[in-house]
Each structure stands twice: as structure tokens, then as C-alpha cells.
Copies of this chain bind each other. A is one copy, B any other.
Amino acid sequence: MTTPLFNRMALIGVGLIGSSIARAAREQGVVRSIVATARSGATRARVAELGIADRVVDTNAAAVEGADLVILCIPVGQCGPVAEEIASRLAPGAIISDVGSVKASVVKDVAPHLPAGVHFVPAHPVAGTENSGPDAGFAELFINRWCILTPPDGTDPGATDKLATFWSALGANVETMSPEHHDLVLAITSHLPHLIAYTIVGTADELGRVTRSEVLKFSAGGFRDFTRIAASDPTMWRDVFLANRDAVLEMLGTFSEDLAKLTRAIRRGDGDTLFELFTRTRAIRRGIVSIGQDSDTPDFGRPHEKLPPLPRPYMADGE
């Protein structure tokens, strides 16, 4: 007889990521039962309604009681306080993990609170959508996405392996690296893109000479792509930038230098510099598509309606 990988999984926070984990873990049968909690009563009620957890409880302490896997699915700024709150209630031998987009700060904030005999294996599934909340999640979110584990020195390799097996079962590819390297990599592949998207959408919103209505109407020229990312959860992203400040500022510095170079090329009418860059960047897109990290369908596969039959007025009279 075989049994699930974990007996009881506790989810603290049930937004896009937490609710996707619940759905995928249940579908794959890798946990015997799921206990969930959330800070807001409305979210807890909705999770109960959705039926994606076996039990919804009111407090973090109640959630972790007897759980052999505890995952914090909350903004990174809340991980420290919550770890402090639940530390004394964690079952011996339990694995505690998270899903935060920053890792060094989470390690620093969480580890000191944890008792001996509990295994702390920080994780970051690099997956998501622009939507938030328990209704936004879906079981397929992690398929073919990477989940990065950043176990601190001295972590039991068995615990890391078990969590890797869990994420593999949810469809993810698993990689292990140091928290510091994770934060540098994600600063360029995730945090800086978000910061820039937020900035340009804010810029467009405040122009005097171009109206908001014009910005919206003509957004298909490229701008609309940025608005998707800039619609991401504000609390989560505020915490990311505060927690990964140094790496983000480093990447921002490099980006700003590169932007200054391009600005100069435009001012001087230096078409060759522009053409050279624009040719080089095409290869990166091809690389991402070829390793399966994006679809090659044009325009992300956005839907297109069919052409309607023409009404009469489009026809001119016969010659």
C-alpha cells in the first residue's frame, strides 16, 4: 500500500499561489489532507465555499497543528511575524516552506524563530498571473515552470529532496541555489520587469498632453503588454522591492545606463546602434520559446474575432 507524500499540508495564505498549490496537490494526491487559513475572514469563507481545502481554520496556530508540511503563501514582509507566531506549534520533523519571490530576507526573518527538529526549506515557484485571491488559482499553474529551493546551510538533504518531490508532482522543474543568487537572478527576470512596467503605466497615466482615453484606446501598440504585469498584487510587490532592495538597485543601475546609451543613440540619429540591439534581442525571445518557457503563438495567442459580413454601405454603386 502506498500513501501520499505528506499527511497534512497546512497553507497559511490562500491567494493565487496558495490556492493553486491546494488544487494541484489534491489533484495529484500528494497530500492526505489540507488545512488552510487566511488573515481575512472573507478569504477563509471563500476558501471554504470553494472546497479546495479539507479544513479551514481561523488562526495560524491552529493551521499548523499536526501538519508535516507548512507552506507560507503570504507576502514576504509577513513571513517573519508569522514564523514567530507559529514556531512553538510546529510538529517535530515538519517541513516549513514558503513561496516568496525574495529569499535572503525570508531566510533572515524566518530561520531564527524556528525550533530544532523542524526543517526549513524556502521555495519560490516562478509562476503566476496578474490575478490575486483564492478564485484566481488553478491546478496547472506550476506545470513546466521552475521552482527554486534555497535551503540554508545545514538543512537536512532528505527534507529538501522531499519538498523537491512535492513540487515535481505539481508539474514544476526544481532547481536549488543560494538565497543570494536567487535574489540576483530574480531581480533581473522578475523584479526589474515589474518595476519598469509599474513605472511606465504610471507615466502614461499622468501625461498632460495625451489623455487617459487615448492611452487606453491605442494601447495595442505595445503598452497594453505592460499593463498586465502592472496589475499584479500591490502588497506582494511592495514587499518584494523592500526585501530585495540591493539586487533591484543594482539591476536598475545597469538598466538605467543602457537606457541612457539608447537615448543618446536616438538623439544622435545613430541607427546602427539601435539596429544592432534590436537584432540581438530577437535571439533571446527565440531562446525562451525553444526551452518551453513561453508559447510561440504570435501575440501570446491572444484571441482574434472573425471578420463580420459587410453591411451594404461598404459597397459603392456599379461603374
Chain B residues lying within 8 Å of A140, measured Cβ to Cβ, are 304-307
Shortest Cβ distance from A217 into chain B, in angstroms? 6
For residue A270, which residue of chain B has the nearest CB? Answer: B242
A203 within 8 A of B: yes
In Å, the complex CA distance between A279 and B302 comes to 25
Minimum distance in angstroms from A131 CB to a CB of chain B:
5
Interface membership of A111, Cβ < 8 A: no
A184 adjacent to B202 (CB under 8 Å): no
CB distance from A135 to the nearest CB of B (A): 11
**Total copies of this chain within the assembly:** 2
Q: Does A193 sit within 8 A of B, measured CB to CB? A: yes
Contact B2 A317 (CB under 8 A): yes
In the docked arrangement, what's the CA distance between A316 and B305, Å?
A: 49
State whether B196 touches A196 (Cβ < 8 A): yes
Q: A1-20 toward B: CB 8 Å interface, digit per residue (1/0)?
A: 11111010000000000000
A84 contacts chain B at the CB level, 8 A cutoff: no
Residues on the B chain within 8 Å of A7, using CB: 319
Q: How far is the CA of A291 from the CA of B220 in the complex (A)?
A: 12
Residues of B within 8 Å of A293, CB to CB, are: 216-217, 219-220, 224
Q: Which chain B residues border A226 with CB–CB below 8 Å?
A: 193, 225
1/0 per residue, CB under 8 A from B, across A184-225: the answer is 111011111111111111111111011010111111111111
CA A241 to CA B313, docked complex, whole Å = 39
Cβ B189 vs Cβ A262 within 8 A: no
Contacts of A175 in B (CB 8 A): 217
Chain A stretch 254-311: residues in CB contact (< 8 A) with chain B: 254-256, 258-259, 262-263, 266-267, 269, 271, 274-275, 277-282, 284-288, 291, 293-295, 297-308, 310
Taking CB atoms, residues of chain B closer than 8 Å to A239 are 271
Q: Is the CB of A307 within 8 A of B220?
A: no
Question: Which of B205, B284, B314 is A168 in contact with, Cβ under 8 Å?
Answer: B314
Q: Is the CB of A190 within 8 A of B28?
A: no
Chain A 136-158 interface mask (CB, 8 Å, partner B; 1/0):
10111101111010000000000
Contact between chains at B201 and A284 (CB < 8 Å): yes
Candidates B212, B242, B278, B312; contact of A234 at CB < 8 Å? B278
Is A130 interfacial (CB 8 A cutoff)? yes
The answer to the question of A105 belonging to the interface, with a C-beta cut-off of 8 Å to chain B, is no
A171 at the interface (CB under 8 A from B): yes
A223: nearest chain-B partner, CB-CB: B189
Known: A3-B318, A126-B218, A302-B300. A143 touches B285 (CB 8 A): no
Decide if A127 is an interface residue (CB 8 Å cutoff): yes
